């Protein structure tokens, strides 16, 4: 047994000063202790140093494989010139195996304002497969060695094009992902789990698969889950319902796309983009979603779909709503991102009982009247975006996430973003911000009896901070002090 004492413990939206300690046995909470009792010698006492103890935080939407993999690879984020790029790749590829990823490349931030050429990359990496990905992941360039490797296989790419975009980009990147060996795949997940702990999380939902028909390395990861210090909740991110069922998955989907992104003006809108005669794209027909979601639903699978624009959200939510009326099941279908929702759409989401799986960091980075979203959508529509406060106010169970590697996997930043929404109507209290990463997040995967609160019988998962999150940005000394998973200290920053 272990006794966690000398902490401020989070209970129902507050720190309960009467609660003195938590006693655990076999990784579960055995008893909440309200008096200064003398504990017996067989109890190990763990002093929490007066810090603030939350239920273990849960991030409900990440791409941990890419996040972990890229953390092991070459980050070009601070390159200022092409010679910087080449030096980083040359240095970084020394300890890599056959596959080298250089990522975070942004041609607008380097002196030459262009991608390197294939010939230039060949000078740097001759005998390994190299892919250099743009910061947004929507374009890339590969070296000749990789071109020849890909041409030797079934997935032909048109190597006469230097920079790949769209379909060619997807195909090249998938080829790299598919050809990695198991050892590197698992190393990527180990790296990701370390980043998750450092970011204050005990559980992360992670998307596995190519968002098309492949579930990728799902079964490999599934067979190794016990090795990781965090719990991974797996999503077969694919349209392949049969494969998901064969794997014994509880759900299907992830960032399978109903529409694109606001940045590329492919998020599907009812009204055109600001000053442009386009409204984005629905990637599939109504009938397609009806069949796909209907089949998953009838097989008791939870469904998760990427939908950003109001037209896409409405397309997916309408299917959820029909099923809620005709064949209600408590499956907790997901609307991932769910960014643009006017009042009518919010009410329809309430009626369908779908769960918006949302990213507070998106508003922090791109929201507000002068922000990126406002330039593309106009200031008026921005007031109908990322409606955390409104949705929670109506009893919709929003959950919080980072979409890592798109934004950082760090609970301090996520809570700060949620408590600092640009739109005062949508900003969250500390209780609400914590709820979307604990109670609601646990509920999303039907783990509400196991995780998400400091209660008897639940897993002893604690995220310990040395400060109370507030609306100010966390300072350097305000940190995640400890992460405790099933009563084991799995991360510590003293």
Cβ count within 10 A of residue 144: 15
Q: Which residues contact 408 (CB under 8 A, 6 or more apart)?
A: 199, 361, 402
Virtual torsion, Cα 297, 300, 301, 307, nearest 10 deg: 30
> By the 8 A CB rule, do 28 and 460 touch?
yes
Residue 306 or 479 having the CB closest to Zn ion: 306
Residue 9 or 70 having the CB closest to Zn ion: 70
Residue 255 or 262 having the CB closest to Zn ion: 255
Only one of the segments 29-37, 403-411, 430-438, 463-471 lies at the binding site for Zn ion (rule: CB under 5 A); that segment is 403-411
**Joined tokens for residue 481:** 């002090």
479 binds Zn ion (CB under 5 A): no
444 binds Zn ion (CB under 5 A): no
Residue at token pair 């010139």: 81
Closest by alpha carbon to 405, among 368, 361, 370, 363? 361
Residue 306 or 482 having the CB closest to Zn ion: 306
Site string for Zn ion, 200-239 (x = CB under 5 A): ----------------------------------------
Only one of the segments 134-142, 160-168, 264-272, 396-404 lies at the binding site for Zn ion (rule: CB under 5 A); that segment is 396-404
**Joined tokens for residue 243:** 């494969």
Burial class (CB in 10 A: 0-12, 13-18, 19+), 272: middle
Least separation in angstroms between residue 261's CB and Zn ion is: 8
255 binds Zn ion (CB under 5 A): yes
Residue 255 or 313 having the CB closest to Zn ion: 255
> By the 8 A CB rule, do 389 and 430 touch?
no
Least separation in angstroms between residue 78's CB and Zn ion is: 25
> By the 8 A CB rule, do 244 and 210 touch?
no
Question: Alpha carbon of 402 to those of 13, 38, 128, 153, 430: distances in Å?
Answer: 22, 42, 32, 35, 18
Residue 217 or 306 having the CB closest to Zn ion: 306
306 binds Zn ion (CB under 5 A): yes
Least separation in angstroms between residue 51's CB and Zn ion is: 32
Least separation in angstroms between residue 306's CB and Zn ion is: 4
Residue 215 or 324 having the CB closest to Zn ion: 215
403 binds Zn ion (CB under 5 A): yes
Residues that bind Zn ion (CB under 5 A): 255, 306, 403
């Amino acid at each position: 047994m272990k006794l966690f004492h000398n902490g401020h413990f989070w209970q129902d939206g507050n720190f309960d000063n009467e609660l003195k300690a938590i006693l655990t046995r076999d990784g579960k909470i055995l008893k909440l202790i309200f008096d200064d009792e003398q504990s017996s010698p067989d109890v190990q006492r763990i002093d929490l140093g007066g810090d603030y103890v939350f239920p273990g935080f849960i991030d409900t939407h990440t791409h941990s494989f890419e996040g972990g993999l890229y953390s092991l690879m070459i980050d070009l984020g601070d390159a200022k010139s092409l010679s910087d790029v080449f030096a980083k790749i040359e240095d970084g590829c020394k300890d890599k195996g056959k596959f080298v990823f250089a990522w975070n490349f942004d041609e607008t931030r380097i002196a030459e304002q262009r991608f390197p050429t294939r010939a230039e990359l060949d000078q740097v990496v001759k005998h390994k497969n190299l892919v250099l990905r743009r910061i947004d992941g929507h374009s890339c360039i590969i070296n000749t060695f990789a071109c020849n490797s890909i041409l030797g296989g079934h997935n032909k790419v048109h190597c006469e094009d230097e920079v790949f975009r769209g379909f060619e980009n997807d195909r090249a990147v998938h080829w790299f992902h598919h050809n990695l060996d198991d050892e590197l795949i698992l190393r990527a997940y180990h790296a990701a789990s370390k980043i998750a702990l450092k970011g204050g999380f005990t559980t992360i939902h992670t998307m596995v698969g190519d968002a098309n028909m492949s579930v990728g390395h799902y079964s490999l990861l599934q067979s190794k889950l016990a090795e990781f210090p965090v719990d991974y909740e797996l999503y077969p991110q694919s349209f392949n319902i049969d494969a998901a069922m064969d794997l014994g998955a509880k759900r299907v989907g992830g960032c399978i796309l109903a529409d694109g992104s606001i940045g590329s003006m492919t998020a599907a809108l009812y009204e055109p983009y600001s000053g442009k005669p386009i409204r984005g794209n629905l990637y599939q027909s109504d009938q397609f979603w009806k069949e796909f979601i209907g089949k998953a639903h009838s097989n008791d699978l939870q469904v998760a779909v990427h939908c950003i624009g109001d037209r896409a959200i409405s397309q997916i939510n309408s299917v959820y709503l029909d099923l809620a009326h005709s064949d209600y099941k408590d499956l907790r279908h997901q609307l991932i991102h769910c960014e643009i929702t006017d009042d009518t759409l919010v009410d329809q989401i309430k009626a369908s009982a779908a769960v918006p799986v949302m990213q507070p960091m998106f508003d922090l980075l791109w929201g507000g009247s002068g922000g990126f979203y406002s330039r593309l959508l106009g200031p008026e529509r921005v007031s109908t975006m990322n409606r955390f406060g409104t949705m929670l106010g109506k009893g919709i169970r929003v959950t919080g996430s980072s979409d890592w590697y798109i934004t950082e996997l760090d609970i301090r930043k996520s809570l700060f973003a949620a408590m600092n929404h640009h739109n005062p109507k949508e900003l969250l209290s500390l209780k609400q911000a914590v709820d979307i990463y604990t109670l609601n997040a646990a509920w999303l995967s039907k783990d509400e009896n196991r995780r998400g609160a400091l209660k008897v019988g639940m897993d002893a998962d604690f995220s310990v901070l040395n400060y109370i999150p507030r609306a100010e940005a966390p300072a350097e000394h305000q940190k995640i002090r400890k992460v405790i998973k099933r009563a084991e200290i799995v991360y510590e920053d003293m």
